[in-house]
Structure 1
């Protein structure tokens, strides 16, 4: 009878875990997931870099548009009215203020192309920003789903370890009274070690998944409400 219990126990734990995984989708908190996505878009450093690149591209468009002012050079000359208009030393036609305006024709022709190129860079920066947001959102979702999965697995493995320990304690009492053979006792003991090892590994996986999700959102999950 005891051997049958030890044989059936792993099968029971396996079936229980499968049922828990099948119902995992019902444990998802989509309101929580939306908050995590918004936090990631607010706090994730690489997303901030992407936004700054877009701002720089926008500033470049403005600077290139204002660059038309650099193409025009204005100067003036003042000559007193009491001097002769033309003489060998100061050969000016007119007296008074004289204004000159110069235009860099090559730069003037090239300026529209530079503005168009700056606008193209701005569109690229915006598209890259949108693409980064989509990737970040999918990354948050994937890490959240994994976190929820490992949370469920941790509960299952904890319950399995407790059940295995409870069964072992009962069988150990029987073994000490001489009511149980050594092979059955050894199998029960190995089962406890196996479930404990699985629990520890699941705990490690759970903590790693939690840390990875918190790295994206920038805050501890306990602080998200």
Structure 2
């Protein structure tokens, strides 16, 4: 009966730990904002979006200048003391002429408008991706906190299991507990240790996933 009471107490304490442990109160929103800012600064895809905006703006500037391509300038030099019977001229010296390609000139406003829209598209794409980065960082940060909380649960369960095993070992040595009950407590402790190892792996994986988008170690974010 005493053995059964110890086992029940151990199980209830483990369940209580799982029920009481929560990571919600550990969410550090100022730190989360720093994580988001770090990801936006370091993540390569964010830099790609920024480069696309710069390229689109450069194309817009270029389109505003290229309208000059529609205008062609030329000059003719006629010496004062020369006589050209084939192409007679009434003026001497340098003569400058201009020609305009109407088709190119009319197409330039449309090219500029397209370039402006490409800038807008690049900006909208960056804004959309920034929202994606923010959501991803939050999700990975919460998963990391959850993994830490679960690991604490497992660690406490192992500690409780070790206490229960010691108590059952003592009662077993006194002949107050059967070997079967003592062996069951050892098996339970072994399982709790296995769960703890799995939780450690989950926590490290969650940390690695978060650091992947941050571009730096989590400890480096101050």
Same fold, TM exceeding 0.5? Answer: yes
Please name the residue that 1:13 is paired with.
14
Q: Is the 8 A contact 2:6 2:164 kept in 1?
A: no
Q: How does 1:40-51 map to 2 (within 5 A)?
A: 40-51=39-50
Q: SS at 1:165's partner residue?
A: helix
Report Cα offsets for 1:3-45 as digits up to 9, x if no partner.
2322342232122212112xx2211111111111111111111
Q: Distance in 1 between matches of 2:187 and 2:52?
A: 58
- 1:147 is matched with which residue: 132, 144, 148? 144
CA-CA distance at 1:93 after TM superposition: 4.0
Please name the residue that 1:185 is paired with.
182
Q: Is the 8 A contact 1:6 1:187 kept in 2?
A: no
Please name the residue that 1:167 is paired with.
164
Please name the residue that 2:60 is paired with.
61
Q: How many residues align?
A: 221
Q: Distance in 1 between matches of 2:105 and 2:198?
A: 68
Name the stretch that deviates more: 183-192 or 197-206.
Answer: 183-192
Gaps of 5+ in 2: none
Please name the residue that 1:87 is paired with.
85
TM-score, scaled relative to structure 2: 0.93
Gaps of 5+ in 1: none
Q: SS at 1:214's partner residue?
A: helix
Report Cα offsets for 1:43-98 as digits up to 9, x if no partner.
111111111111111111101011112221111111110112x413x543432111
CA-CA distance at 1:208 after TM superposition: 0.6
Q: Alpha carbon RMSD of aligned pairs, Å?
A: 1.5
TM-score, scaled relative to structure 1: 0.92
Q: Is the 8 A contact 1:51 1:129 kept in 2?
A: yes
Q: Is the aligned partner of 1:38 residue 2:41?
A: no
